[in-house]
Structure 1
Amino acid sequence: MIGHFGLVLGLALLIALALRGVNILLAVLLSVLVIGVTNGMAFQEIFLEYFPFGASGAFTFAGNFLLLFLCGALFGRIMAASQAAQGVAMGITRRLGAKRALLIAMLVCALLTYGGVVVFVVIFTMYPIGVTLMREANIPRRLYAAAIALGAGTFTMTALPGTPSIHNVIAARSLGTDLFAGGWFGVFAGALMAIFGMWYLERQWRLATERGEGYQATPKDEQMAAMAAATGKKLPSMGKSVLPIVLVLGMIAFPRFLLLAGVEAEWIRFTLAQPVLWASFALLSGAVLCYLLFPPVRKNFVRTAGQGADDALLPLINTAAVIGFGGVVIQTAGFHAFAGWLLELPLPPLVSVFLSANLISGITASASGGLQIFMSSLAPAYLEAGVSPEILHRVANLAAGGLDSLPHSGAVIALFTLMGLTHKEAYRDIFVVTVLVPLLAALVVVAAAMLLT
């Protein structure tokens, strides 16, 4: 009984510390200690076995996905340094106009993240541009932040097929599928998220305008506006800026298209069987194209590449720490009882997948962390129950992107910190577009998959 209490206490401690802004690695280690001690684990088991090197260990995950994080961060940093990311953003802005600022924010973030640019780089790219958009269109800051979250942290993260996102790669690597698994279901879910999310944001903008609520500047906004103005006249064209993203996505899709066309080759099978390596190579190729196309990045390439490598470390360590937390949790009797309860519920398998992946991601406040734990601990049971790997890939991805954005989510906290917002001011809108809307889309896909498969 004390072990079950300790498991709940450890989870509550992790959430409380994260909400207070405590470093996630420190929060995880303290929470792991509470869970391990109350469940009778020895210190060496906690910190030298289960947390670092278990099937869901922090170092196990970091070793498997270091290359993908590194290449993704390099690509994102070089896209920013070359001003290509800004070129994409300003190109869409000029075509749609500032009055469609929420749609612009969503589209730019979606395009950049779908092409492999790291979410944190996207946030920092959109903030300087967003100051101008918010000011011209008189948009409340909370709604602009929600539009960024919708574009960067929902359908391109878990739904759309082919993306080199860590979530898509985790599922492919665990199930032996490729990055396009369950593609049509993903496209359908992505469309639902984008449409309903934008409907909600536009409606809230209209209501805010009627109440007299609008944009309020901060001292940091003035600095960001000056930065955007200083670089705005020197940005590359949108057509040129989008080429590295097209290359990344094209390289990922090309082997799949060849296979569908009946072309058989060993290297094609290799690319589909090694999603981490091939996605990493595609991202690296995109970075090389940036180097060739854009002179600004060549001036300080070594420093920029070093900054990209640094950018990879914090997300990798934080994600690995959350997964290591799960690696300890899954060793407890309470988790095994919880998993057994989930598997024994009188529910169709896909509904059970939806429920279990959501709950685990909610506990860890991480879609990637929850998905990794789900794949290592529960996915084999669903495969044995007859769920196809391709459907399991997409449904589990969609489900993991539901409760991952609860208030203690690291990405939510980072976005609010950057934009000078509090949970009280802005979390309601974030909750709707990154939790409620993805949950709805995932449930619709579950229903469709049950009818069609």
Structure 2
Amino acid sequence: MGILGILIALGLLIWLAYRGWSILLLAPLCALLAALLAGEPLLANWTQTFMSNAAQFVAQFFPIFLLGALFGKLMESSGSVEAIAAYMTEKLGTQRAILAIVLAGAFITYGGVSLFVAFFVLAPMGHALFKAANIPHRLMPAAIALGTSTFTMSAMPGTPAIQNAIPMPFFGTNPFAAPGLGLIASAIMLAFGMWWLSRAEAKARLKGEGYNYAGSINPNDAAENELVRERATTAREFDPGEIKRGGHTSSLPSFRLAALPLVVVVLTNLIMSFVVLPRMDVSFLQDARWGNTSLAAVGGVWSVIVALATAILVLIATSHRRLPSLRATMDAGANASVLPILSVASLVGFGAVVAGLPAFEVVKNWVLGIEGGPLVSLALATNILAALTGSASGGLTIALDALGPAYMTIAKEIGLDPGLMHRVAVIGAGTLDSLPHNGAVVTLLAVCGSTHKESYVDIVMAAIVGALIALVAVIGLGTVLGSF
């Protein structure tokens, strides 16, 4: 009955979440249902297991959620995101409209801006560019997804995306884990995605299919959609309900000024990871006052926190005149982080309750016993959980909470580099999370004024198939050559 209870609880969670019910309600209720069907104590599972694990996730990652959402909102309100996107589209022009949108999204998100902020800025520009180039608008969601939701989220070394931060406390890694493999995976995702979109554009032109979109684009309509918001906040670290709050500049900065904070994020992250933190005396962390921890467990998160905080200060110093209401903008950014982290933390709490049930031992042994070695089983575990929850961050955390210590034990026994496991886990979580019920997919389609029927096949090819090919390549190269 234990396994059946887990399946019933998980199925109910997925079904009701897809219908728009709040994860904040569903996660504890479904966790308690799983405990009830397993004959486990309900209140103890809620207060001692669910809440303690959800609280631990908040304690570990709230600074990144907070600073990431704040940075994204400041970049949007100051016009920096719009200026960067406009520069890219101007330089590449209508002849390379798809590439312009992809690279604009990649540059913005690799620099630390939430992909939801990128969606709301890139969609109107994408429509204007695709209309001028006479490219079917149905291809635009896939182009935006390729640039914002694939390699800059899971593969590029040093990306400040929350998904890249989650494995660090589990594996003792930093944001630049397995950099060579990450770059190879990024190249595969970008090349495959561009090949598919270029092919789709060419086929459309042969059939005489053009832009053919008669509707009006108002991204704020998607931000006000409660169903979109519910799904979105479990998928990424920004609440789209805050996108229209806080004011917006009336004049755009230059490209160099707009790009400066993004460069600061990457460089500061690099310097913190390889220069500052390795030279610090952190022996005090072993004291009970600081949680009896180590630099390996907290250093990666510290690097991302300092990088985002430094970029925020640089952005305010250089663009404060273009922020019509700094306090309101910062309030909106801070508020944008709250619902996402609580939603993901609730998923983590649900996963902790399930992982603590006696029947889960059977699931754990099955996963660890999958043929192909630990990298294959880790990739499958993160893929499946991210797909079921519709959240890369939620699925990744649940998988590592339940299986992370076991994988670290295996890694020590066979000499497997934790950095390689880090990269495989993150790329794995960023593949099947883009199923139709994923909040980012739902939001992207709503912002672009498209539908699953029109655009989802191209999203699958650009955001899922390319990532799966890259994942296979990383596992193959990592198995033969090790981490590099």
Provide the TM-score with structure 2 as the length reference.
Answer: 0.85
| Structure 1 unaligned spans of 5+ | none
| 1:394, distance to aligned residue in structure 2 (A) | 1.1
Which of 245, 248, 263 is the matching residue for 2:265?
248
Asked whether 1:377 is paired with 2:407, we answer: no
The answer for the alignment partner of 2:291 in structure 1 is none
Task: Report whether the alignment pairs 1:345 with 2:356.
Answer: no
Cα separation, partners in 2 of 1:26 and 1:416, compared to 1, 3 Å: farther
Distance 1:348 1:271 in 2: 25
Deviations 1:343-369 (A, max 9, x none): 123322222222222222222222111
Q: Deviations over 1:36-64 (max 9, x none)?
A: 322223331343222221xxx22221121
2:231 alignment partner in structure 1 = none
Does the CA-based 8 Å contact 1:326-1:373 persist in structure 2?
yes
In the superposition, relative to structure 1, how do residues 213 and 328 fare at CA in structure 2: closer, same or farther (>3 Å)?
Answer: farther
Q: Does 1:430 align with 2:459?
A: yes
Partner of 1:421: 450
1:34 partner letter: L
Structure-to-structure mapping, 1:16-415, within 5 angstroms: 16-53=15-52, 57-215=53-211, 216-221=213-218, 234-258=251-275, 264-266=279-281, 273-385=298-410, 386=414, 387-415=416-444
Measured after TM superposition, the shift of residue 341 of structure 1 is 0.8
Gaps of 5+ in 2: 222-243, 283-293
- Describe the shift of the 1:388–1:340 C-alpha distance in structure 2 as closer, same or farther (beyond 3 A): same
RMSD: 2.6
Separation in structure 2 between the aligned mates of residue 243 and residue 426 of structure 1, nearest angstrom: 34
* 1:16 aligned partner, one-letter code: W
Name the CA distance, whole Å, in 1 between partners of 2:320 and 2:378.
48
Query: 1:320 is aligned with what amino acid?
Result: A
SS of residue paired to 2:387: helix
Query: Secondary structure of the equivalent of 2:217?
Result: helix
Cα distance, 1:392 vs structure 2: 1.0
CA contact (8 A) 2:6 2:354 kept: yes
SS of equivalent residue, structure 1 residue 294: helix
Change (3 A) 1:377 1:232: closer
Aligned to 1:445: 474
Structure 2 Cα separation of the partners of residues 73 and 171 of structure 1: 20
Query: How far is 1:232 from its partner?
Result: 11
Distance 2:75 2:250 in 1: 17
Report the residue type matching 1:6 in the other structure. Answer: G
SS in 1 for 2:175: coil
The residue type paired with residue 263 of structure 2 is: V
- Residues in 2 aligned to 1:285 and 1:391: alpha-carbon distance in whole angstroms: 29
Question: Alpha-carbon deviations, 1:189-229, whole Å to 9, x = none?
Answer: 011001101111111122223334333132335999xx9xx
- Give the direction of change, closer, same or farther, for the CA distance of 1:319–1:140 in structure 2 (3 Å limit): farther
Kept after mapping to 1: 8 A contact 2:182/2:423: yes
CA positional deviation for 1:30: 4.2
Structure-1 separation of matches of 2:26 and 2:443 = 16
Q: Partner amino acid for 2:91?
A: R
How far 1:422 moved relative to its partner? 2.7
Deviation at 1:423, TM superposition (A): 2.3
CA distance in 2, matches of 1:117, 1:223: 18
Q: 1:45 to 1:87 in 2, by over 3 A?
A: same
Q: CA deviation at 1:108?
A: 1.2
Task: Give the superposition deviation at 1:298.
Answer: 4.1
Give the secondary structure class of the aligned counterpart of 2:377.
helix
From the superposition, tell whether residues 219 and 13 of structure 1 become closer, same or farther in structure 2 (CA, over 3 Å): same
Q: CA deviation at 1:264?
A: 4.1
Task: Provide closer, same or farther for how the CA distance between residues 19 and 137 of structure 1 changes in structure 2, counting only shifts above 3 A.
Answer: farther
SS where residue 365 of structure 2 aligns? helix
- CA deviations on 1:249-300 (whole Å, 9 max, x unpaired) are 110112445489xx84548x96995222331221122112111212444431
Aligned residues: 442
Percentage of matched positions with identical amino acids:
38
Alpha-carbon distance, 1:304 to partner: 0.6
Provide, for residues 362-384 of structure 1, a one-character-per-residue CA deviation record: whole Å limited to 9, x for no partner. 22222111221222221222222
Given the superposition, is the C-alpha separation of residues 46 and 211 from structure 1 closer, same or farther in structure 2, using an over 3 Å criterion?
farther
CA distance in 2, matches of 1:100, 1:351: 37
CA distance in 2, matches of 1:324, 1:375: 13
| Structure 1 counterpart of 2:86, one-letter code | M
